[in-house]
Amino acid sequence: MSFDSLTPEQQIAHLEELAKKSLRHWDLQGSELALVKYRENAVYKVTAPDGVRYALRIHRHGYHSDASLRSELVWMSALNESGIAVPQVLPATDGRLLVSETTTAMVEPRKIDLFAWIDGEPLGTDSEGLGDNADRVTELYTDLGRSAAELHNQSSQWELPEGFERHAWDHDGLVGEQPFWGRFWELELLDASQRTLMEQIRDRISDELSRYDRSAQNYSLIHADFVPENLMVDQDALRLIDFDDAGFGWHLFELATALYFIQEEPYYPAARQALIDGYRQQRPLSDEDLEHLELFLAARGCTYLGWIRSRQETDTARELAPDLIRRACRQAERYLASCDE
């Protein structure tokens, strides 16, 4: 029986076995493990016998190449060296940033890495918004804007090391024939009118992106997943985690991702303005560029439908599909209407 055919409970049991086996690479045998998150990758909190905590990540099989995974970790290390607070990558005892392990049930090698633990709680969730953090929305989104700008400052000036490899959220990655997250306009869960709408918005986005500037001022490595769950709040500090989707892309796509899931909240106007104000404290962002923000919000919505299509066998995709389809269609209708004005 393949791993994918197991129940979620069975998969988790095998993943924990793999996690325990992998601890030897960091001399952390005997540590306690607690599952933090299992959506595609599995993330465990590791508490060593001396009380020090770590985050151990087991990567899904086949999503990234080994070179791409190592490149993610190299960029994170470079960000830390430049003073940007992202999780610290911890090499194994033999110096490797990425190790491989198998078990009798998981015969295809899984890639595993380890990070220093980040204290705090997520800023919010995609489904429930910011919760109590909504009271601090201006402060937090100003900080988020500054963080995004600092990250883009580093990536637009950083000389890529030899062999660096990451995917791209460019024209082809978003709306080409084989987008990075899948052919969203063919999602089987769409009805006929929704499918027509997705074909229309794909054509519009394709036309706009084919003419949009890709200079280092607007396009470089980006995190590409500034959603509330990936932003850790610890008292007054806001820290970014989870670089699994990081790749090359437009900076406005980054900002659109930060805003996408809070657009229906009453605090959205304040969050949007705070994000822009914070960004402008560290990096130029013209009003002319901001006119394209709705374009990237529409593109972001499309990617989530591609995400569903490529993962329809998972409980998570089935659970999130209705809301993601609703949001993407609403975003597409709004953008197409604005283009026709």
66-73: long-range contacts, CB 8 A cutoff, minimum separation 24: 66/98, 66/111, 67/163, 67/165, 68/165, 68/166, 68/167, 69/98, 69/111, 69/113, 70/97, 70/98, 71/163, 71/164, 71/165, 71/166, 72/166, 72/243, 72/244, 72/246, 73/97, 73/98, 73/113
- pTM, full prediction: 0.94
**What three-state secondary structure class fits 168?**
strand
Where do the structural domains in the chain lie, given as residue ranges? 3-117, 122-340
**Is the pLDDT assigned to residue 228 strictly greater than 80?**
yes
Average pLDDT score over residue span 209-225 = 95
pLDDT score, position 237 = 83
What b/e sequence results for 123-136 when a residue is b if at least 16 CB atoms lie within 10 Å of its CB, and e otherwise?
A: bbebeebbeebbeb
The CATH number of the structural domain formed by 122-340 is 3.90.1200.10
- Choose the CATH number for 3-117 among 3.40.640.10, 3.20.20.140, 3.30.200.20, 3.90.1150.10: 3.30.200.20
pLDDT score, position 9 = 87
pLDDT score, position 127 = 67
Question: pLDDT tens, 116-161?
Answer: 999 999 988 766 778 878 788 999 999 999 999 999 999 999 999 9
